[in-house]
Every structure is written in structure tokens, then in C-alpha cells.
Amino acid sequence: MDKLQIFDTTLRDGEQSPGFSMNREEKLQLARQIEQLGVDIIEAGFPIASPGDLEATRAVAAEIKHCRVAALARARQEDVDAALRGLEHAAKPRLHLFLATSDLHLKYKLRMTREQALDQIVKMVRFGSQHCEEVEFSAEDASRTDIDYLTQVVLAVVESGATIVNLPDTVGYSTPDDYAKMFRDVRARLGAYPDIILSAHCHDDLGLALANSLAAIDAGVRQIECTINGIGERAGNASLEELAVALHVRQDRYAVTTNIKLEMLYPTSRMLSSITGVSVPPNKAVVGANAFAHEAGIHQDGILKNPLTYEIIVPEKVGVPARKLVLGKHSGRNALRSRLDELGFQTTDAELAECYRMAMLQADAEKEITDRDLISIIHKVRRGQAPAPAAPGSSAATVR
Ligand code: KIV
Ligand code: ZN
């Protein structure tokens, strides 16, 4: 199994999207958590963007010792100088240089010819490699770049000292087949440099960021750039938790390993939401409130018989707390009503009385009642399927 490097850019691509800006302390808190989560590289910021971003990058770089810390810079001297200042105290620094390579960006945004851009890129990658132990180069808008020019740029940066080459789908335009083909074409022409790590960085404008990242892995990519909760420019980046869980659940399909501690995914997602005040949509894969909720009666029935019928991963595996309501003979109706409320069921007094009766019968037999049990009970009550009250002398277990 090959090792896949996880490059987390929550603090850079994620943080630069509207509503997600974080101050130095918040970035530090999240960086510590992301390091514990097991990522390989944390992109701490884009130091030229503001003095605050430079300061936060320096703070993260000084504190994070196990992961590599990256700082972003355009292929321009003042950007590179700022990024190197940001990385000054990093134990394992990575300078992340980028410049757009598509004709569209060159003509309208940078107003440069292909030759001018290539010169500028080579100059800055050379300079960066002399001042930082590791250099990554990103060809911005790679997926819309002419493949011959892209390959020329990739060979030039590798010859100038970059050891990681990232080919982003900057505007989320690519499809899995096209994206994989681009990597295969580039790899084929990198024959003399088998150790160069190719990296994918996908945006979700067409909802394809995860699919494109997985296709890139199939094509030999061994670094994926992603973010917690999939935050990032516009529709966001590939989401780290979706990627990690996809690779875990489909180990049969993707022969790569990561160091991600799956049980930290949910707590990390919650920490980001509480820091930024932006909650995760309920239907979000892995970390959304409904990701493990089962509403349809047929699904609940299947889950109760065997969770594998409708769950491809147990919630506890990704750190979603198993909410259990311990109901015993002394439990009150209020506890039951408030848990049902939290689960989204407002009950009438009659429904509550019936739920309580059924819950007590089950508690006698099983000692504790899970959220799944409660949902099943309330649905039965509402469908009029509650069992008849037990005859005097019969045991709770037989009623169930
Ligand atoms: O989307 C993109 O192209 C980027 C690069 C700067 C890596 O974020
Ligand atoms: Zn990006």
C-alpha cells in the first residue's frame, strides 16, 4: 500500500473564503487539532496577504512540530520573502509557490506570455529551493492549461528544485476522467524523475471535488490537498473527512494509506464550526447532523436488524458520539420528552405517555435505550403500531 500525503489547507484556501476568516489564536487552536488528526502538511497561510496572515503563519510554524508547515506565495519576490519570513521558525518548512499557467489566466489576469511566466516560475523556484528545504509548485488552473505547456512547466520546476508538483482544478471544471488523464500524461513525461510527488487540489464548483481527487489517486497522485468541512474558495475544496472515509470504506478499491485518525474527524469538524460560527449543512457526508440519522421506517427497521443494511460506516468510527439515553425505572418522562425534542420529535402528552410505556418495557429488557430505539418507538406510536399493554404477570422481554 502506498502512503498518501494529506495536505490540509483549511487555514489558507479555507480561511480565505467569505465567513471563514480566523485570527491568530483561532488558527493556532485549529492547527493543533489538525496536527493531532494526523495530516502530513498544514498550509498555515498566505503571508503576503496581510500582516495578520504573516503573524498567524509564523505562530503556527513555530508551534507545529510533527507536521510539515507550508506557506503560500505567488512566484514573485515579495511574496516569497514574506512566505520565508512566515516559515522562519518551522521545524519542517515547505515553501508553496504558484503561478497560473492557462492561457486564459496568462492573457487576462497576469498579462504575460507563456515564456515570461515560465521564466518567472523557474527564477522563483530556484530561489525558493536555495532558501527552503522543500518546495512545492502549483500550476494554477492546471486543468485548463495546454498539456504541452503544462508539461514544459512541470519539467522546468522539477529541474529547478521543486519536489512536489500540484496540478489544481482551480475552478472545479474538470471531470474525473479528464483530471486523471492530465496526471497520467504529465507522469509519462516525467520518466527521469520517478520520486517527484504529484498532488491534486480540487474545487467543488460542479460537486466533483472528491470524485476528481479519487480519480487523481488512481492516476498515481500521492498528495491530496483538502480542507475540513470542505471549506474553500466559492463552492469549497475537497473535504478531508469525505476523502479519509472514502479511502477507509473502499480500501478494496484504493490501495493507499493515510495517517488520519478517523475518530477525530467529527470533533475537528465541530471545532471548525464553533470557531467560525458557520455550521455544517445537515445532509453533509460524514459530519452532517443527518449523516447517520434514519427517518424512513423501512430504513429504521433494517438498521435495527443489522446496521450494515443502511450504514456503510458506524458513526462512532468517525467520532460521532453514540447518544444513549439511559432509561431505568427511575427515569422521568421529562428526560424522554427532551431527548425526543432534540431528535426533532415534538410529542403530544398522549404520544409521550405511550412512548414512555414502550421505553420502560424496553429498558426492563435491555437496560438502556439508544436514539435509534427512541426513533423506532415514536414511529411505531405514530403509526399506531405500539404493542398492547402487557398482561399482568407477563415479562417486558416477551412484550418486545
Ligand atoms: O485553487 C488553486 O489553484 C489554489 C492554488 C493557489 C494552489 O488554491
Ligand atoms: Zn484552491
Residue-wise pLDDT tens digits, 146-184: 999 999 999 999 999 999 999 999 999 999 999 999 999
- As a whole number, the mean pLDDT across the chain is 91
Which three-class secondary structure state does DSSP give residue 227?
A: strand
pLDDT digits (tens, 9 = 90+) for 334-344: 778 877 877 77
The kind and range of the H/E element at 182 are: helix 176-188
Q: Are residues 112 and 225 in the same domain?
A: yes
| Percent composition of the chain: helix, strand, coil (DSSP 3-state, to 5) | 50, 15, 35
Q: Which of 177, 101, 170 is nearest to 139 (CA)?
A: 101
Query: Is the distance from the beta carbon of residue 187 to the nearest atom of ligand 1 less than 6 Å?
Result: no
Of the residues 255, 276, 297, which one is the last residue of a structural domain?
Answer: 276
Amino acid at 112: M
User: Residue 115: inside a domain, yes or no?
Assistant: yes
User: Residue 58: inside a domain, yes or no?
Assistant: yes
- CA angle (276 as vertex; 272, 281 as ends), nearest 5: 70
User: Residue 301: inside a domain, yes or no?
Assistant: no
Count CB neighbours of 277 within 10 A. Answer: 8
Amino acid at 210: L
Q: Are 37 and 268 in contact (CB under 8 A)?
A: yes
Q: State yes or no: pLDDT of 390 exceeds 60.
A: no
Ligand nearest the Cα atom of residue 200: 1
Query: Is the distance from the beta carbon of residue 168 to the nearest atom of ligand 1 less than 6 Å?
Result: yes
User: Residue 185: inside a domain, yes or no?
Assistant: yes
Give the position, in ligand 1's atom list, of the atom nearest the Cα of 166: 7
pLDDT at 98: 99
Q: Are 239 and 218 in contact (CB under 8 A)?
A: no
Q: Are residues 246 and 331 in the same domain?
A: no
- Determine which residue's CA is closest to atom 2 belonging to ligand 1: 170
Of the residues 259, 276, 293, which one is the last residue of a structural domain?
Answer: 276
Q: How many domains does the chain have?
A: 2
Q: State yes or no: pLDDT of 374 exceeds 90.
A: no
pLDDT digits (tens, 9 = 90+) for 252-283: 999 899 999 999 999 999 999 999 999 899 89
User: Residue 288: inside a domain, yes or no?
Assistant: no
Q: Which domain holds residue 333?
A: 324-398
Q: Are 260 and 37 in contact (CB under 8 A)?
A: yes
Write the DSSP assignment of 359-381 as a string of letters.
Answer: HHHHHHHHS-EEHHHHHHHHHHH
Q: Are 30 and 60 in contact (CB under 8 A)?
A: no
Q: Are residues 269 and 329 in the same domain?
A: no
- Determine which residue's CA is closest to atom 8 belonging to ligand 1: 13
Q: Are residues 143 and 244 in the same domain?
A: yes
Q: State yes or no: pLDDT of 301 exceeds 90.
A: no
Which domain CATH number covers 246?
Answer: 3.20.20.70
- Determine which residue's CA is closest to atom 7 belonging to ligand 1: 138
CA of 117 to the centre of ligand 2 (A): 20
Q: State yes or no: pLDDT of 69 exceeds 60.
A: yes
Adjacent-strand bridge partners of 169: 202
pLDDT digits (tens, 9 = 90+) for 311-330: 899 999 999 876 555 555 55
Which residues fall within 8 angstroms of residue 271, CB to CB, at 6 or more apart?
29, 30, 33
CA of 78 to the centre of ligand 2 (A): 21
Q: Which residue of 140, 203, 223 sits with most ligand 1 atoms within 8 Å of its CB, as the best mutation to test the pocket?
A: 140
Of the residues 214, 247, 276, which one is the last residue of a structural domain?
Answer: 276
pLDDT at 290: 82
Give the position, in ligand 1's atom list, of the atom nearest the Cα of 9: 8
User: Residue 312: inside a domain, yes or no?
Assistant: no
Q: Are 162 and 199 in contact (CB under 8 A)?
A: no
Query: Is the distance from the beta carbon of residue 13 to the nearest atom of ligand 1 less than 6 Å?
Result: yes
Q: Are residues 392 and 271 in the same domain?
A: no
pLDDT at 289: 81
Q: State yes or no: pLDDT of 23 exceeds 70.
A: yes
Which three-class secondary structure state does DSSP give residue 189?
A: coil
User: Strand (E) positions, 103-174?
Assistant: 135-140, 164-166
User: Residue 310: inside a domain, yes or no?
Assistant: no
pLDDT at 396: 32
Q: Are residues 131 and 241 in the same domain?
A: yes
Q: Are residues 27 and 96 in the same domain?
A: yes
Which three-class secondary structure state does DSSP give residue 300?
A: helix
CA of 233 to the centre of ligand 2 (A): 6
Can you tell me the distance from the alpha carbon of 104 to that of 269, in angstroms, rounded to the nearest whole number?
A: 36
Q: Are residues 272 and 343 in the same domain?
A: no
Q: Are residues 194 and 250 in the same domain?
A: yes
Q: Are residues 270 and 330 in the same domain?
A: no
Q: Are residues 48 and 130 in the same domain?
A: yes
- Determine which residue's CA is closest to atom 1 belonging to ligand 1: 170
How would you class 74 by CB atoms within 10 Å of its CB: exposed for 0-12, middle for 13-18, buried for 19 or more?
A: buried
